[in-house]
Homo-oligomer: A and B are copies of this chain.
Amino acid sequence: MRELLKNIQIRVNERIYLKDPESSDLGRSIINHSIKLIHELGIESFTFKKLAFALNTTESTVYRYFENKHNLLLYILSWYWGWLEYEIVLSTMNISDPTDRIQKTIEAISDPLKNELVHNYVDLKGLHEIVIAESPKSFLTKEVDLENEIGFFVNYKRICDRIVKNIQEINSEYPYSKTLALTIIQCANQHRFFASHFPNLTNISSEGKELHAFLSDLVLKTIQNNK
């Protein structure tokens, strides 16, 4: 079953790119090398010139696929959220108890790579670290409202919606289901960063193994039905 995921096509809003990178070898290579380089250099030091050099091509070629590096970042993040949704769907499939299901979802979000997943051309581990270190920069901009309107964040929002529904199944009276859903996703990534760089500020170890326990406990205690 998981074999299927290897080749699955993740849908990304087509206004993020100028030319679909999935439509050519070069395009896939751009994504592939972008993940490697952004992971290595950070988005600030990453440039299309460096990317072009790594690809043995020129800046102008890269610009034919993406308007700028911000959109390229949006693309790979959106791809990640799309991919993660598949992961969540697969891992919660056939689980009828909503509490069990939210546990599985939290697990998928906090440790998405535990299943030794391999993807055809995407380095999922590098991508996950980009999500941890760079994703807030994708929306903390002055252009966020515009980009949101165009639909650049739909893949992320779909995951939120899923969790919200799951929370409401467990306790339909809990008034902050949306806020709590956001908290789960954001905390999972954030605490991984803190675990790596500010170990004194957290009880999560650098491998992040306690993340699931922390979040499950937090969520379940918060939405349990006793007032």
Contact = CB atoms under 8 A, between A and B. Distances in A.
Contact of A157 (B180, B183, B200): B200
Given A182-B191, A210-B176, A201 B157 contact: yes
Nearest to A43: B140
A13 to B, nearest CB: 16
Determine the interface band of chain A, counting residues with CB < 8 A from chain B. 35 or more
A204 B140 CA distance: 18
Interface stretch (A28-36, A57-65, A213-221): A213-221
A124 B117 CA distance: 47
Interface in A137-153: 137, 139-142, 144-145, 148, 153
B179 A203 contact: yes
A177 B203 contact: yes
Interface string A180-193: 11110011001101
A48 B178 CA distance: 40
Contacts of A41: 142
A178 B214 CA distance: 11
A217 B221 contact: no
Majority secondary structure, A binding face: helix
B176 A203 contact: yes
A61 B160 CA distance: 47
Contact of A218 (B177, B190, B194, B222): B222
A200 B149 CA distance: 12
A76 to B, nearest CB: 16
Contacts of A137: 136-137, 140
Contacts of A222: 217-218, 221-222
7 contacts: A157-B198, A175-B203, A176-B204, A179-B191, A179-B202, A179-B214, A217-B222
Given A41-B142, A136-B136, A179-B202, 5 more contacts: A44-B141, A134-B140, A179-B191, A179-B204, A186-B186
Closest 10 A-B residue pairs measured CB to CB? A136-B136, A42-B142, A176-B214, A176-B203, A179-B202, A179-B203, A221-B221, A178-B203, A178-B202, A221-B222
